[in-house]
Amino acid sequence: MIEEKERQTDSLLNRFNLWRKDHISEKQFILLLSLVVGIFTAFVAILLKFLISLIHEFIYGNLTISKENYSLLIYPVIGILVSGLFILYIIRDDIGHGVTKILYSLSKKNGRIKPHNMYSSVIASAITIGMGGSVGAESPIVLTGSAIGSNVGRMFKMEHRTLVLLVGCGAAGAIAGIFKAPIAGLVFVLEVLMFDLSMGSLLPLLVSSVTAATVSYIVTGTDSMFYFASSHGFDLSLIPLVLVLGVVCGLVSLYFSHTMNWLENFFGRLAKPWKKFVLGATILSILIFLFPSLFGEGYGTISTLLDVNEDSSSVMEGSFFYGGNLLLYLTLMVFAKVFASTATNAGGGCGGIFAPSLFLGCIAGFVFGELSLRFFPDANISVQNFALLGMAGLMSGVMHAPLTGVFLIAELTGGYSMFLPLMMVSILSFLTIRLFHSHSIYSMRLARKGELMTHDKDQAVLLLMNIDSLIETEFLTLKPEMNLGQLVNVIARSNRNLFPVLDDDGSLVGIVNMESIRNIMFRQELYNRFTVQRLMELPPARLSVNDSMEAVMNKFDETSAWNLPVEDENGRYMGFVSKSKIFNSYRNILLEISGE
In DSSP notation, 109-142 reads STT---GGGGTHHHHHHHHHHHTT-SSBSHHHHH
What's the pLDDT at 36? 94
Average pLDDT over every residue of 340-357: 91
What's the pLDDT at 218? 94
- Count how many residues are written for the chain: 596
How far is Cα 530 from Cα 444, in angstroms, rounded to an integer?
Answer: 55
Q: Give 250-306 pLDDT, tens digit per residue.
A: 999 999 999 999 998 899 888 888 999 999 999 998 898 888 889 888 888 998 898
How far is Cα 237 from Cα 334, in angstroms, rounded to an integer?
Answer: 28
How far is Cα 278 from Cα 158, in angstroms, rounded to an integer?
Answer: 45
Domain boundary residue, one of 427, 458, 489: 458
In a domain, 85, yes or no: yes
pLDDT > 70 in the chain, percent: 88
For the beta sheet containing 543-544, the strands, ordered from the edge strand earlier in sequence to the opposite edge, are: 543-544, 563-567, 573-578
Same domain, 419 and 300: yes
Domain boundary residue, one of 411, 435, 458: 458
Lowest mean pLDDT among 38-52, 242-256, 326-340, 507-521: 507-521
- Count of structural domains, the chain: 3
Same domain, 447 and 517: no
pLDDT > 90 in the chain, percent: 35
How far is Cα 219 from Cα 227, in angstroms, rounded to an integer?
Answer: 19
How far is Cα 405 from Cα 240, in angstroms, rounded to an integer?
Answer: 20
Q: Give 521-563 pLDDT, tens digit per residue.
A: 778 888 888 888 888 888 888 998 888 777 888 888 888 888 8
Same domain, 14 and 98: yes
DSSP SS3 for 322: coil
Average pLDDT over every residue of 19-31: 80
Residue bearing the bigger pLDDT, 117 or 447: 117
Same domain, 123 and 251: no
Same domain, 275 and 298: yes
| CA 481 to chain CA mean position, Å | 53
Q: How many CB atoms lie within 10 A of CB 584?
A: 12
Residue bearing the bigger pLDDT, 62 or 517: 517
- The angle subtended at Cα 490 by Cα 486 and Cα 496, nearest 5°, is 145
What's the pLDDT at 69? 56
Q: Please check whether residue 290 is in contact with residue 74, taking contact to mean a CB–CB distance below 8 angstroms.
A: no
Same domain, 30 and 131: yes
Residue bearing the bigger pLDDT, 381 or 390: 390
Average pLDDT over every residue of 105-124: 84
Residue 584: CATH number of its domain:
3.10.580.10
What's the pLDDT at 82? 93
What's the pLDDT at 2? 53
- The angle subtended at Cα 5 by Cα 4 and Cα 9, nearest 5°, is 120
Same domain, 37 and 100: yes
Q: Where are the alpha helices (DSSP H) in 269-307?
A: 273-290, 299-306
Same domain, 269 and 152: no
Average pLDDT over every residue of 339-366: 92
Strands 543-544 and 563-567 come out as parallel
In a domain, 229, yes or no: no
Q: How many CB atoms lie within 10 A of CB 1?
A: 5
How far is Cα 443 from Cα 193, in angstroms, rounded to an integer?
Answer: 9
Whole-model pTM: value is: 0.77
Same domain, 378 and 329: yes
| CA 375 to chain CA mean position, Å | 41
Domain boundary residue, one of 425, 458, 491: 458
Tally the C-alpha atoms within 13 A of residue 385's C-alpha that lie toward its C-beta: 22
Residues 6+ apart with CB under 8 A from 375: none
Same domain, 425 and 539: no
How far is Cα 224 from Cα 4, in angstroms, rounded to an integer?
Answer: 48
What's the pLDDT at 183? 92
Q: Please check whether residue 249 is in contact with residue 393, taking contact to mean a CB–CB distance below 8 angstroms.
A: yes
What's the pLDDT at 257? 92
> Does residue 433 register a pLDDT over 80?
yes
Average pLDDT over every residue of 313-341: 87
Per-residue pLDDT band at 73 (split at 50, 70, 90): confident
Lowest mean pLDDT among 81-85, 323-327, 350-354: 323-327
How far is Cα 133 from Cα 296, in angstroms, rounded to an integer?
Answer: 5
Q: Domain range spanning residue 282? A: 236-458
Residue bearing the bigger pLDDT, 63 or 347: 347
In a domain, 228, yes or no: no
Residue bearing the bigger pLDDT, 275 or 97: 275
In a domain, 65, yes or no: yes
What's the pLDDT at 254? 95
Of 161, 150, 213, 219, residue with least CA distance to 185? 213
Residue 167: CATH number of its domain:
1.10.3080.10
> What is the DSSP secondary-structure string of 302-354?
HHHHH-TTS-GGGGGTTSTTTTS-HHHHHHHHHHHHHHHHHHHHHTT---BSH
In a domain, 468, yes or no: yes
Residue bearing the bigger pLDDT, 446 or 397: 397
> Does residue 468 register a pLDDT over 80?
no
Strands 563-567 and 573-578 come out as antiparallel
How far is Cα 92 from Cα 86, in angstroms, rounded to an integer?
Answer: 8
Residue bearing the bigger pLDDT, 24 or 499: 499
Residue bearing the bigger pLDDT, 469 or 183: 183
Per-residue pLDDT band at 12 (split at 50, 70, 90): confident
DSSP SS3 for 537: strand
What's the pLDDT at 462? 58
Same domain, 22 and 91: yes
What's the pLDDT at 68? 45
In a domain, 230, yes or no: no
In a domain, 227, yes or no: no
How far is Cα 73 from Cα 45, in angstroms, rounded to an integer?
Answer: 29
> Does residue 454 register a pLDDT over 60?
no
End-to-end CA distance of the chain: give it in Å, rounded.
Answer: 43
Average pLDDT over every residue of 400-418: 86
What's the pLDDT at 491? 86
Of 512, 508, 511, residue with least CA distance to 567? 508
Per-residue pLDDT band at 229 (split at 50, 70, 90): low
Per-residue pLDDT band at 382 (split at 50, 70, 90): confident
- In Å, the largest CA–CA distance within the chain is 104
Same domain, 188 and 267: no
Q: Give 135-145 pLDDT, tens digit per residue.
A: 988 889 999 99
What's the pLDDT at 67? 45
What's the pLDDT at 590? 65
Residue bearing the bigger pLDDT, 298 or 318: 298
How far is Cα 313 from Cα 246, in angstroms, rounded to an integer?
Answer: 25
Lowest mean pLDDT among 134-148, 190-204, 356-370, 390-404: 190-204
